[in-house]
Amino acid sequence: MSGLELATPLALILLPAPWLLRLLLGGDAAPGGGLPLPATMRERLGAGASTSRSRLSRSAIIRALAWIGLVLALSGPRIAGAVAALPAAGRDIMLALDLSGSMTKTDFELNGAAASRLAVLKHFGAELIRRRAGDRIGLVVFAETAFAAAPLSFDLRAVSAALEEMEIGLVGRSTAIGEALGLALKRLSDSTAPSRVVILLSDGANNAGSSEPVAVAELARAMGVDIFTIGLGVNDTVADPADTDAVDFVALQHIAEIGGGAAFRARTGAELDAATRAIEALLASPAPAPPTIIYRELWIYPGALAFLAATALALATRERR
């Protein structure tokens, strides 16, 4: 969609207004009778009248240009153009990410080198955020307590930057999964999006906070919020119950089941990347969005013509005085 159009085309009705008023008021009054003058005086007066008429003619043209430019500017000429819009996903997603002390463990690989769980989380979490163009993303981080690191926003770069700044110890070193889920739900409670999602990632078991994760998951189901969980870590409580830093994947599965989502296990960076992509595949596809119409305003050009004509008319009037 592109082409020239007028924002207020009805303004063009004003174009003939000065000439219509002149007709209604009778136009230029014809001179009445007068005394007879000598031929030489009549010739001189005739020459002066001719010069005066020439000046009046130029003045009338300038006034007409000023009026036409003003009316055209008021009509708002502009060129419309269509710009493709982002997919209108209509989805709000809260990421709840574990920053407990066990996230400092260096039992993962990233780009062929040993890396901590936190480094892997930041890397693949930032990639997930950048892929969600069209969604609003928010960020909750938790350990002993939970706090909102970034509000729901379309500014994915800002949310990703907030994730990059997170460090272990900001919110303690324990794991309050229930508190994190509760805060994420609170952030989504005022959302009017047709799809609301919490993606919870933890490498441990719930051992802090006063909120029970299962009870919060039941609240999420009542609110219509889907919960997806990712268990990050090499060991889990079933395979190695003696490991105090093992992930309680059974509990994460139960939370996801109650919350209407799915649970994923990530023992490596590649599995974490696959888990985030699998969650994205389970989410509804984005709806096609109508293009955004932008306008290039052209009123300044007839406006400039009107201004120049008015200036010329003012200068001419000043010279005659």
Same domain, 255 and 315: no
Could you give phi then psi for residue 245, rounded to 5 degrees?
A: -100, 10
Residue 30 lies in a domain: no
Same domain, 263 and 299: no
Q: Give the count of domains, the chain.
A: 2
pLDDT tens-digit profile of 85-111? 555 556 899 999 988 888 888 878 888
Residue 29 lies in a domain: no
pLDDT confidence of 158, banded at 50, 70, 90? very high
Same domain, 299 and 187: no
Same domain, 221 and 299: no
Residue 32 lies in a domain: no
The whole domain housing 245 covers 91-282
- pTM score: 0.61
The b/e string for 170-209 (b: 16+ C-beta within 10 A; e otherwise) is ebbebbbbbbbbbbbbebbeebeeebbbbbbbbbbbbebb
pLDDT confidence of 173, banded at 50, 70, 90? low
Could you give phi then psi for residue 260, rounded to 5 degrees?
A: 80, 15
Same domain, 105 and 197: yes
Give the residue-averaged pLDDT of 52-81: 81
Is residue 35 predicted with pLDDT exceeding 60? no
Same domain, 242 and 159: yes
Specify the pLDDT at position 172.
67
Specify the pLDDT at position 60.
80
Specify the pLDDT at position 222.
93
Same domain, 234 and 99: yes
As to burial, measured by CB atoms within 10 angstroms (0-12 exposed, 13-18 middle, 19+ buried), residue 249 is buried
Same domain, 167 and 267: yes
DSSP reduced 3-state for 57: helix
Specify the pLDDT at position 288.
52
Instruction: CATH number of the domain at 148, please.
Output: 3.40.50.410
Same domain, 128 and 246: yes
Same domain, 187 and 238: yes
Q: Give me the chain's average pLDDT, please.
A: 81
Could you give phi then psi for residue 212, rounded to 5 degrees?
A: -85, 125
pLDDT tens-digit profile of 258-291? 999 999 998 888 898 999 999 888 886 555 555 6
Same domain, 48 and 181: no
Same domain, 263 and 306: no
